[in-house]
Structure formats: structure tokens, C-alpha cells
């Protein structure tokens, strides 16, 4: 699965938020959606703070 960019993840989280706000969701689906949102939020947090050594490696390889 292609890695989601931060922006794409935020967009999906906001979509889920919208759906929950509208109250159209059945309680079971609600649980599913909330889990997905939690996953995405965790991913975003990691992007912010956990250093991805791959990214730095790519930059280091550029001739200065």
C-alpha cells in the first residue's frame, strides 16, 4: 500500500470527522471509523516526531 502523505492522512481524518458529526453512522460502523481515525492520527504523530532515516539518507546522497 502506498505510504500516505501527511496531508492525505489529515484529509481522510477530516472526512471521518465529518461523517461522525453528521450522525448518520450506525454504531458498529462508528467503531470502525474511529479505529481508522486513531490509526491515521498515530501515523501523523509519528511523521512529526519520529525520524525517518531513509529520508535523511536520500538527502545525504545528494552531492553538495
> Applying CB under 8 A, does 29 fall inside the site for another protein?
no
Euclidean distance between CA atoms 64 and 54, whole angstroms = 18
Among 1, 23, 24, 28, binds another protein (CB under 8 A): 23
**Is residue 52 near another protein by the rule CB under 8 A?**
yes
Place of cell 477530516: 14
**62 secondary structure, DSSP code:** S
Which residues are CB-contacts of 33 (< 8 A; sequence separation ≥ 6)?
16, 19, 20, 25
Residues that bind another protein (CB under 8 A): 6-7, 10, 13-14, 16-17, 20-21, 23, 27, 30, 34, 37-38, 41, 44-45, 47-52, 55-56, 58-60, 62-64
Amino acid at each position: 500500500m502506498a505510504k500516505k502523505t501527511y496531508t492525505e492522512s489529515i484529509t481522510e481524518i477530516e472526512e471521518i470527522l465529518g461523517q461522525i458529526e453528521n450522525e448518520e453512522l450506525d454504531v458498529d460502523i462508528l467503531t470502525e471509523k474511529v479505529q481508522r481515525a486513531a490509526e491515521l492520527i498515530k501515523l501523523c504523530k509519528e511523521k512529526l516526531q519520529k525520524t525517518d532515516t531513509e529520508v535523511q539518507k536520500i538527502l545525504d546522497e545528494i552531492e553538495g
